[in-house]
Amino acid sequence: MKNLKITVNGTAYDVQVEEVAAGAAPVVASAPAAKPAAPAAAPAPAAAPAPAAAPVPAGAETVNSPMPGTIVSVNVSAGQNVKKGDVLVVLEAMKMENEIMAPRDAVVAGVQVNKGDSVDSGTPLVSLQ
């Protein structure tokens, strides 16, 4: 057993840590804290199910998310003509807004995301024809 002092957000805690052998089940032990722990945050409400994304039409080029983030705005709609460099979607990642632009002149075949959606890297955002 090792006795350690750990500081979390300015609050110091005395803890005991036991090293277990590889493959052994860990032993859960409680240690008294120097100060009472803050009350647990209320669990986040369950998110409403997202509407099904529009299917990507055959032969369409998809513009994918370059990184994980949240869609701040969708600036195009299906059937709209866009020119190379037009902003299709604004993606917030790491507290920065990133403009996702059209790679070429095209017609928007479909939009696969909505404002407020969380996306992963590689998620289809917009399809172009």
pLDDT in tens, the chain (129 residues): 788 888 888 888 888 877 776 665 555 555 555 555 555 555 555 544 444 455 666 678 999 999 999 999 999 999 999 999 999 999 999 889 999 999 999 999 999 999 999 999 999 999 999
Residue 67 counted as domain residue? yes
Name the H helices within the chain. none
Residue 56 inside a domain? The answer is no
| Burial of 109 per CB tally in 10 Å (0-12, 13-18, 19+) | buried
Plot region of 51 (φ>0 → left; ψ -120 to 50 → alpha; else → beta): beta
Q: Can you give the CATH number for the domain in which 103 is found?
A: 2.40.50.100
User: Can you give the residue range of the structural domain that contains 102?
Assistant: 61-128
- The predicted model scores a pTM of 0.57
- Asked if 89 and 73 count as a contact pair (C-beta separation under 8 A), the reply is yes
User: How many structural domains compose the chain?
Assistant: 1
